[in-house]
Amino acid sequence: MAERMREIITENVTITPNEVKEFYNSLPKDSLPYINSKISVSQIVLYPKITEDDKAKSKKALELRREEILSGKRSFEGVAGLESKDPGSRLQGGDLGWNSRGTMVPEFEAELFKLEPNGISPVFETQYGYHIVQLLERKGDNYHCRHILFMPEVSDKALMKAANTIDSLYKEIKKGTITFEDAAIRFSDDENSKLSGGKIVNPYTGDYFWDVQNINEIDPSMYQIVQRLNIGDYSKPGLYDNMMEQKQGIRMVKLLDRTKPHVANLKDDYQLIQMAALNQKKQEVIDQWVKDKITGNFIRIFDDNFISKCNYRYPWTSNLTTTNNQ
């Protein structure tokens, strides 16, 4: 709720190039951040095609687990902890915590909102695989649930077919029959990058440059690949584990650019500085909003120790009348 309120307060806050320049010039030169080397990369990814037989096996296996849970042979948490393919909830026995309507994909919530507390859904399919979900508690549009996810496993034959296809692409690119960018647009299965010729957007900054630390958090093998490449070179096809979507494919990577470590400047790091300047401006708007609201609202502090021992960012204790609570 607090985060949503911050968004509402600052939704119309913008910043001009002159303000960005003024912000940069106001920073003490000895406090300018040191920017690590950054890389810009593109990729072509082919995922093995999942057959109807692969999907049927996964669905049947989850239906069997559901029957075991309903009969009392196994617990929901036990199956989730041992077999669910959702790494984010598996260690919590499938527990997804409290969420609000609209958080999950439509197919998931369609089944969830049919349930009574402690009810378990039939097996259903989403873009991530097959699920069963148990509603633990519901308050209006807010719900607490847990789920089990089974994902169809691709066959070795399908993986080999994808490898052969991308190997042929690699040879065509090397001969000059097709460019890396055109091959990405036409053949890559990575929907997030294919339309930009395979260029991978950095979600932290919105541009195409990645700090090595950030890209390692999302794609641990990327730095190992580009470390061996010169700018403009591309790797041979290799196995790719998509950690975000929990699936395996074959990919080749092209190194588009690599910057040198340097002190932040407007020419090379404009977007980074712009983001910092905008965040500061938003914080100033929030600070003023809070100060305006404090004067018109009653704030009750139960423990007098908080008044004497805490330093406040905002003037919560101005014009304070204390009450001794026994």
pLDDT per position as a tens digit, 232-290: 999 999 999 887 777 889 999 999 999 888 898 998 888 889 989 999 999 999 999 99
Please classify residue 68 by burial: count the beta carbons closer than 10 Å to its beta carbon, then call 0-12 exposed, 13-18 middle and 19+ buried: middle
Tokens 């990814």: give the residue.
45
Mean pLDDT of 76-102: 94
Please give the CATH topology (third level) of the domain spanning 52-150.
Answer: Chitinase A; domain 3 (3.10.50)
Mean pLDDT of 77-96: 94
Helix (H), strand (E) at residue 171: helix 156-175
Mean pLDDT of 309-319: 73
> Which residues neighbour 23 within 8 Å (Cβ) at sequence distance 6 or greater?
273, 276, 277, 280
Please give the CATH topology (third level) of the domain spanning 37-49+154-260.
Answer: Chitinase A; domain 3 (3.10.50)
- What gap in Å lies between CA 28 and CA 37, rounded to an integer? 22
Confidence of residue 318 (pLDDT cuts 50, 70, 90): low
- What is residue 268's predicted lDDT score, i.e. its pLDDT? 82
Please classify residue 44 by burial: count the beta carbons closer than 10 Å to its beta carbon, then call 0-12 exposed, 13-18 middle and 19+ buried: buried
pLDDT score of 325 more than 90: no
- What is residue 227's predicted lDDT score, i.e. its pLDDT? 86
pLDDT score of 326 more than 70: no
- What is residue 298's predicted lDDT score, i.e. its pLDDT? 78
Q: Please work out, in degrees rounded to the nearest 5, the angle formed at the alpha carbon of residue 192 by the alpha carbons of 269 and 111.
A: 125
pLDDT score of 47 more than 80: yes
- What is residue 181's predicted lDDT score, i.e. its pLDDT? 96
Domain boundaries, the chain: 1-32+265-326, 37-49+154-260, 52-150
CA 8 to chain centre: 22
Strand order in the sheet with 142-150: 95-100, 142-150, 129-139, 124-126
pLDDT score of 324 more than 50: no
Rounded to 10 degrees, the C-alpha dihedral 231/227/32/201 comes to 70
Note the pTM of the prediction, 2 decimals.
0.62
The pLDDT tens digits for 13-46 are 999 999 999 999 999 988 888 888 889 999 999 9
Do the two domains 37-49+154-260 and 52-150 of this chain adopt the same fold? yes
- What gap in Å lies between CA 124 and CA 4, rounded to an integer? 31
pLDDT score of 306 more than 80: no
> Which residues neighbour 135 within 8 Å (Cβ) at sequence distance 6 or greater?
112, 115, 116, 117, 118, 119, 143, 144, 145
- What is residue 300's predicted lDDT score, i.e. its pLDDT? 75
- What is residue 321's predicted lDDT score, i.e. its pLDDT? 53
Least confident of 86-100, 118-132, 162-176, 261-275: 261-275
* C-beta of residue 226 within 8 angstroms of C-beta of residue 253: yes
pLDDT score of 320 more than 60: no
The pLDDT tens digits for 294-305 are 878 877 777 777
Mean pLDDT of 155-176: 93
- What is residue 147's predicted lDDT score, i.e. its pLDDT? 97
Q: Where are the beta strands (DSSP E) in the chain?
A: 34-35, 38-46, 95-100, 124-126, 129-139, 142-150, 210-211, 238-242, 247-258, 262-263
The pLDDT tens digits for 199-230 are 999 887 788 888 877 787 778 888 889 888 99
* C-beta of residue 186 within 8 angstroms of C-beta of residue 199: no
